[in-house]
């Protein structure tokens, strides 16, 4: 079921909002892994390793500008990593006055639904006609108990 989990999580995406609740280095909000893994040296040199997104920039005329502050000047090879990080950040902007939230990418207009989650699981986890998958929906139990059984089966 690990494959299912990663596909399911791949259907969720942060909307950055004001950046108050997303940890810049630790949360997976830009790409498929935490920035502290992709840019380990720059993370180590950052003046804050546990701050939220809104710490790493400033508002200028209702526009967000990323600013990375380090404890010392960077060596040439560290500047290359910083440059790549800043390039990656350019496509991500905070939104003034909007809260951080999740978006269900499978159907962003309608949002999350059991039907869309079922569709994702059916496509990615268990093949058509699998006794486990087909039997799961015939269980006469509370939905939360059924989901627990499905997670345990993987």
Structure confidence at residue 47 as a pLDDT band (50, 70, 90): very high
Supply 123's token pair: 């496509």
pTM of the model: 0.64
Give the least confident one: 66-80, 82-96, 105-119, 129-143.
129-143
3-state secondary structure 109-129: CCCCCHHHHHHHHHHHCCCCC
Of 115, 104, 114, 152, residue with least CA distance to 132: 152
Mean confidence (pLDDT) of the chain = 77
Contacts with 7 (C-beta within 8 Å, 6 or more apart), sequence order: 120, 124, 125
- In Å, what is the CA distance from 146 to each residue of 29, 105, 108? 30, 25, 27
pLDDT for res 85: 95
């Amino acid at each position: 079921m690990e494959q299912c989990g990663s596909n399911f999580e791949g259907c969720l995406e942060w909307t950055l909002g004001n950046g108050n609740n997303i940890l810049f280095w630790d949360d997976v909000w830009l790409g498929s892994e935490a920035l502290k893994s992709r840019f380990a040296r720059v993370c180590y040199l950052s003046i804050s390793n546990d701050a939220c997104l809104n710490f790493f920039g400033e508002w200028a005329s209702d526009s967000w500008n990323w600013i990375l502050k380090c404890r010392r000047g960077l060596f040439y090879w560290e500047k290359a990593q910083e440059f790549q990080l800043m390039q990656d950040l350019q496509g991500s902007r905070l939104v003034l006055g909007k809260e951080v939230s999740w978006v269900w990418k499978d159907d962003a207009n309608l949002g999350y639904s059991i039907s869309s989650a079922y569709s994702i699981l059916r496509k990615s986890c268990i093949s058509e006609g699998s006794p486990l998958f087909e039997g799961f929906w015939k269980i006469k139990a509370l939905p939360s108990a059924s989901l627990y059984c499905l997670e345990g089966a993987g």
